[in-house]
């Protein structure tokens, strides 16, 4: 959430759009999937864990837009 707010203050309009939308999508994916995780089911926890790693990789795609 902090990154999306920081992205709103970037000088370039394209960078603002990419950062704010990108982080909003990532945050919504995390929150929606976190609600459906069954902590007693190992497969469910592992699936959420792998989602977090995939979203971390997606964050690296957003880094160039912070300039």
Question: What's 38's DSSP letter?
Answer: -
Query: Which pLDDT score, from 0 to 100, does residue 62 have?
Result: 87
Matching residue, tokens 């990532």? 26
* Contact criterion met (CB below 8 Å) for 37 and 45: yes
C-alpha–C-alpha distance, residues 26 and 11, integer Å: 22
The pTM (predicted TM-score) of the whole model is 0.76
Q: Compute the distance between CA of residue 57 and CA of residue 51 in angstroms, rounded to an integer.
A: 10
pLDDT tens for the 67 residues of the chain, in order: 566 677 677 777 888 888 889 989 999 999 999 999 999 999 999 999 999 999 999 999 988 877 7
């Amino acid at each position: 959430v902090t990154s999306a707010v920081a992205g709103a203050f970037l000088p370039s309009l394209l960078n603002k759009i990419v950062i704010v939308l990108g982080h909003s999508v990532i945050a919504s994916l995390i929150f929606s999937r976190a609600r459906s995780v069954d902590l007693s089911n190992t497969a469910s926890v592992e699936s959420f864990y792998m989602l977090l790693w995939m979203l971390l990789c997606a964050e690296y795609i957003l880094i160039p837009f912070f300039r």
